[in-house]
Chain A
Amino acid sequence: MPTLKIRLRSALVAGTALLALTGAANADEQHFPLQSYRVGPYAAGGTGFFGGFIDYLNLINTRDGGVNGVKLTWSEGETQYEVERGVEVYERLKSRPGIAAWNPLSVGIAYAMIDRITKDKVPLITINHGRTDSTDGRVFPYVFPLLLNPYSETSGIVEYLASREGGLEKLKGKTIAVLFHGSPYGKETIPIYELLAKKYGFKVEQIEVPHPGNEQQSQWLTIRRLKPDYVVLRGWGVMNPVALKTAQKTGFPANRIVGNVWSNSEEDVIPAGEAAKGYVAITTQASGAEYPVLQEVTKTVYGAGTGNLADRKRIGSVYHNLGIVNGILNVEAVRAAQEKFGKRTLTGDEVRWGFEHLRLDEARVAALGAKGLFHSINVTCANHEGEGRVTFQQWDGAKWSVVSDWIAPDWATLRPIIEASSATYAKEHGLTPRDCAKEEAASQAPAVGQ
């Protein structure tokens, strides 16, 4: 008897396993492996961003039953923002079926993945960050620095300062100090500030803060002597609140400090307390939970108790909203690819095509319930950034509020520098840039796989 029982049970197990297997093959699924970081020094950003991303995927699944019936799934691996852990998670999760795209939100991990994802033909999304020259999709077919790369960010900040002064020509003779994190990330925009300073006739002083940036007395004393009109904060982690505190200590007004995209979250200002009141920072997505898509996430996802944030108060925070926007862009890219390749599980390469045809104008953004949350995007084969607009938000001690229009960075000035850099990369790696016009013509041919 026992043997029979065991045999019966094992047959049953095998049967269900088979069922699950065929089930998985039938019910289409699109997978998002997540190299998240929920502990360590940057945990606050990680929980917000990945929380928002998961919340949006959850919303699509529960509200719409997936994208055209294709369920969205995800799995997480903790990286603590360390590159080698990111690589380990990549190797661990890359064999999961139906991977749509990777979204590491870490410059270091993204760099280590470029070779790997290019070989494996899966898109790598580096929203708001990443390698500037990967904007050139002709050389980096699988890398997408969506919405904003570091150069555009620089240009956006300068345009904003000009608007505060009353026009680009008013920048002449002004002094701008850039306080940057002592790392490759911090230094990346040095030449761009120099370039724009020359172009518009303002004076720029770039001052380095050594990592981690918990002491900035000397830098701010230098700033005090310099008496700049504005200080741009290109910070990271603990450097941001310390900068604001030290600014207060040396008598520099917070409303003349403008933060970059990694200095723009609640986590950057809350520790500075009173000193942060009036501080302004760039963003690609407004914060706040009043947008319809956030309302739906709150109602549908958190109402059902499946929300990803441990603290509901963080719904609508900067990183959470970045995660939501990232979710929208990923889902819409999958949708765009499905239009062409069919409503089924897509390969990474097909999703890449979707990202290269990710066109969300203001009307479409509004239809997605994100009017005012972000402006628009228009990704093409050659432009993987997608002409994202930026806006500026001011901290009032409790929340951020938008204080500018949507500003378009000066892409035309930046593009030649980007192309020169990507050409160097192509040469170093023996790559021939793609011919986008030819590919576009080919993809207009009758759809395949339907």
Chain B
Amino acid sequence: MAATSAPLAKTVLRPSANAVGIALLLVLAYGIVPLVGTSYLYEAILTPFLALSLAALGLNLLTGYAGQLSLGSSAFMALGAYAAFNLSLRLPFLPLPVTIVLAGLVAATAGLAAGLPALRLRGFYLAVSTLAVQFFVGWVLNRFAWISNDSPSGVISAPPLVIAGLSFEDARGRYLFSLTVVALLTFLAWRLVTSPTGRSFVAVRDNETAARVIGVKVARTKLLAFALSSFVVGVAGVLWAFAYLRTVEPAGFNLDRSFQILFIVIIGGLGTLRGAFLGAGLIVVLPLLLSRFGAAVLGDGFDSGTLEMCQRIALGTLIVAFLIREPAGLAALLDRAVRCLRRAD
């Protein structure tokens, strides 16, 4: 407990610095970006970045805070996306925000079920058991045609994003829509991790027996972590499908996506909220930068395949190097940088 109370104390002691930073970010995201952004910025960078950040935030609640490793995140994204699609199809009178919350609840229910093995398994045994969820959900979505509204090809297109007559259909609108959802859920997640429940998550992660001794209900806490995390990941799936790709197909929510989200959490920093955003920034933007850089250095005519393979090697190397140099993630790196700046003042 001692180890975890230290960062908490810090936030309490210096709320103003953090608050100023967050306020600045929000001003930038709401006030400046929509004025200067291009469609490429929204569609190819910011919207996927926001959706993946949210998914990573959800997984971080489970893995980073409660210490339960999951390799099935994208299955919960898929559940959220398909639930939202079916809700808006079959109950078209529901306002979009209600649909999204209900879709998150569907994912949370599934998360609860997926969390049951966690009561008996830990570590990689649990991780591999979450793969069962990953493959089972993929199979179910493929098996029952009504889930995709009997569409012959199984690929469905997302309904328009309209709330109370206000359309968020263009690129900027979909960015602002995602931003709002992400900001709200991030705020709720922040409330959660600073609450007693959040502290019991950390207690379970650090030492289950000790947690039990101080009165934490371990089983209940684990299941709660699974449910809450799946809720957030499910909503991220809705953003991914409705705001970003605007189509849903099971193949998009595969194991690679689950690994990608886990990468974001690890690289960003386990057990920090800002880590999810930092990690997602790196994972979304870095490949684009690498490919732009490659194209700029080697010219447009250069074989894009070779370039991509070099990129893959570079990305893998960077990940390894990063894990070696900064195992605590980008969040820790940022903290150090900030501290250095402060000392320099």
Residues of A within 8 A of B (CB): 36, 38-39, 43, 46-47, 75-78, 80, 83-84, 87-88, 91-92, 95, 107-108, 111-112, 114-115, 131-133, 150, 182-185, 187-188, 191, 210-211, 421, 428-429
- In the complex, the answer to whether A184 meets B249 with C-beta atoms within 8 Å is yes
Q: How far is the CA of A191 from the CA of B154 in the complex (A)?
A: 13
Task: For residue B294, give the distance in angstroms from its CB to the closest CB of chain A.
Answer: 10
Chain A residues with Cβ below 8 Å from B11 are: none
- In the complex, the answer to whether B304 meets A132 with C-beta atoms within 8 Å is no
- In the complex, the answer to whether A78 meets B250 with C-beta atoms within 8 Å is no
Q: When the two chains form the complex, which single residue of A39, A83, A87 contacts B44, counting CB atoms closer than 8 Å?
A: A87
Q: How far is the CA of A211 from the CA of B143 in the complex (A)?
A: 13
Beta-carbon contacts of B37-50 to A below 8 Å, as 1s and 0s? 00110011000100
- In the complex, the answer to whether B251 meets A183 with C-beta atoms within 8 Å is yes
**Known: A84-B244, A91-B40. Is A111-B300 also a contact (CB below 8 A)?**
no
- In the complex, the answer to whether A107 meets B153 with C-beta atoms within 8 Å is yes
B145, B288, B303 interface centre (most CB from chain A within 10 Å): B303
- In the complex, the answer to whether A78 meets B291 with C-beta atoms within 8 Å is yes
Task: For residue B87, give the distance in angstroms from its CB to the closest CB of chain A.
Answer: 15
B173: Cβ under 8 A from any A Cβ:
no
- In the complex, the answer to whether B44 meets A184 with C-beta atoms within 8 Å is no
Chain A residues with Cβ below 8 Å from B244 are: 84, 87
Chain A residues with Cβ below 8 Å from B308 are: 38-39, 78, 80
B86: Cβ under 8 A from any A Cβ:
no
B274: Cβ under 8 A from any A Cβ:
no
Q: How far is the CA of A74 from the CA of B165 in the complex (A)?
A: 41
Q: How far is the CA of A261 from the CA of B307 in the complex (A)?
A: 29
- In the complex, the answer to whether A91 meets B43 with C-beta atoms within 8 Å is yes
Interface residues of B in 241-297 (CB under 8 A from A): 244-247, 249-252, 288, 291
Chain A residues with Cβ below 8 Å from B291 are: 77-78
Q: When the two chains form the complex, which single residue of B48, B153, B304 contacts A131, counting CB atoms closer than 8 Å?
A: B153
- In the complex, the answer to whether B40 meets A183 with C-beta atoms within 8 Å is no
Chain B residues with Cβ below 8 Å from A75 are: 300
Interface residues of B in 133-156 (CB under 8 A from A): 139, 142, 145, 148, 152-155
Chain A residues with Cβ below 8 Å from B44 are: 87-88, 91-92
Chain B residues with Cβ below 8 Å from A428 are: 157
Chain B interfacial residues counted at CB < 8 A: 33
Interface residues of B in 301-326 (CB under 8 A from A): 303-309, 312
Q: How far is the CA of A36 from the CA of B249 in the complex (A)?
A: 20
Chain B residues with Cβ below 8 Å from A132 are: 152-153
Task: For residue B302, give the distance in angstroms from its CB to the closest CB of chain A.
Answer: 9
Residue of B nearest to A34 (CB): B304
**Residues of A contacting B: mostly:** helix
- In the complex, the answer to whether B300 meets A108 with C-beta atoms within 8 Å is no
Q: How far is the CA of A46 from the CA of B246 in the complex (A)?
A: 25
Task: For residue B47, give the distance in angstroms from its CB to the closest CB of chain A.
Answer: 10
Q: When the two chains form the complex, which single residue of B39, B249, B309 contacts A111, counting CB atoms closer than 8 Å?
A: B249
Residue of B nearest to A37 (CB): B305
**Known: A183-B142, A184-B249. Is A38-B152 also a contact (CB below 8 A)?**
no
- In the complex, the answer to whether A38 meets B304 with C-beta atoms within 8 Å is yes
Q: 5 extra interchain contacts, Cβ-Cβ under 8 A, other than A91-B44, A182-B139, A183-B142?
A: A39-B312, A43-B305, A77-B304, A108-B251, A421-B152
Residue of B nearest to A421 (CB): B152
Chain A residues with Cβ below 8 Å from B306 are: 38
Q: How far is the CA of A39 from the CA of B308 in the complex (A)?
A: 7
Q: How far is the CA of A95 from the CA of B43 in the complex (A)?
A: 13
- In the complex, the answer to whether A83 meets B309 with C-beta atoms within 8 Å is no
Q: How far is the CA of A328 from the CA of B10 in the complex (A)?
A: 67
Q: How far is the CA of A107 from the CA of B247 in the complex (A)?
A: 12
Task: For residue A288, give the distance in angstroms from its CB to the closest CB of chain B.
Answer: 25
- In the complex, the answer to whether B43 meets A83 with C-beta atoms within 8 Å is no
- In the complex, the answer to whether B43 meets A87 with C-beta atoms within 8 Å is yes
Task: For residue A38, give the distance in angstroms from its CB to the closest CB of chain B.
Answer: 3
- In the complex, the answer to whether A84 meets B251 with C-beta atoms within 8 Å is no
- In the complex, the answer to whether B40 meets A92 with C-beta atoms within 8 Å is yes
Q: How far is the CA of A150 from the CA of B155 in the complex (A)?
A: 14
Task: For residue B61, give the distance in angstroms from its CB to the closest CB of chain A.
Answer: 24
Q: How far is the CA of A366 from the CA of B240 in the complex (A)?
A: 47
Q: How far is the CA of A132 from the CA of B153 in the complex (A)?
A: 8
Q: When the two chains form the complex, which single residue of A47, A111, A210, A421 contacts B305, counting CB atoms closer than 8 Å?
A: A47
A38, A150, A191 interface centre (most CB from chain B within 10 Å): A38
**Known: A88-B288, A111-B247. Is A38-B303 also a contact (CB below 8 A)?**
yes
Chain B residues with Cβ below 8 Å from A80 are: 308
Task: For residue A323, give the distance in angstroms from its CB to the closest CB of chain B.
Answer: 15
Chain B residues with Cβ below 8 Å from A46 are: 305
Residue of A nearest to B240 (CB): A84
- In the complex, the answer to whether B39 meets A91 with C-beta atoms within 8 Å is yes
Q: How far is the CA of A84 from the CA of B251 in the complex (A)?
A: 12
Chain B residues with Cβ below 8 Å from A78 are: 291, 304-305, 307-308
Chain A residues with Cβ below 8 Å from B154 are: 183-185, 187-188
Task: For residue B257, give the distance in angstroms from its CB to the closest CB of chain A.
Answer: 9
Chain A residues with Cβ below 8 Å from B43 are: 87, 91
Chain B residues with Cβ below 8 Å from A39 are: 305, 308-309, 312
Chain B residues with Cβ below 8 Å from A114 are: 157, 247
- In the complex, the answer to whether A115 meets B157 with C-beta atoms within 8 Å is yes
A-B pairs, top 10 by smallest CB distance, nearest first, are A184-B154, A38-B305, A91-B44, A88-B44, A78-B308, A78-B304, A76-B304, A91-B43, A39-B308, A91-B40
- In the complex, the answer to whether B245 meets A83 with C-beta atoms within 8 Å is yes
Q: How far is the CA of A115 from the CA of B174 in the complex (A)?
A: 14
Task: For residue A239, give the distance in angstroms from its CB to the closest CB of chain B.
Answer: 14
Q: How far is the CA of A150 from the CA of B153 in the complex (A)?
A: 10
- In the complex, the answer to whether B252 meets A108 with C-beta atoms within 8 Å is yes
Beta-carbon contacts of B4-40 to A below 8 Å, as 1s and 0s? 0000000000000000000000000000000000011
Residue of A nearest to B158 (CB): A115
Residue of A nearest to B152 (CB): A188
Q: When the two chains form the complex, which single residue of A92, A112, A150 contacts B247, counting CB atoms closer than 8 Å?
A: A112
Chain A residues with Cβ below 8 Å from B247 are: 83, 108, 111-112, 114
Residue of A nearest to B154 (CB): A184
- In the complex, the answer to whether A133 meets B152 with C-beta atoms within 8 Å is yes
Q: How far is the CA of A38 from the CA of B303 in the complex (A)?
A: 9
Task: For residue B251, give the distance in angstroms from its CB to the closest CB of chain A.
Answer: 6
Chain A residues with Cβ below 8 Å from B303 are: 38
Q: How far is the CA of A132 from the CA of B43 in the complex (A)?
A: 27
- In the complex, the answer to whether B249 meets A187 with C-beta atoms within 8 Å is no
Chain A residues with Cβ below 8 Å from B152 are: 132-133, 188, 191, 421
Chain B residues with Cβ below 8 Å from A84 are: 48, 244-245, 252
Chain A residues with Cβ below 8 Å from B305 are: 36, 38-39, 43, 46-47, 78
Task: For residue A264, give the distance in angstroms from its CB to the closest CB of chain B.
Answer: 20
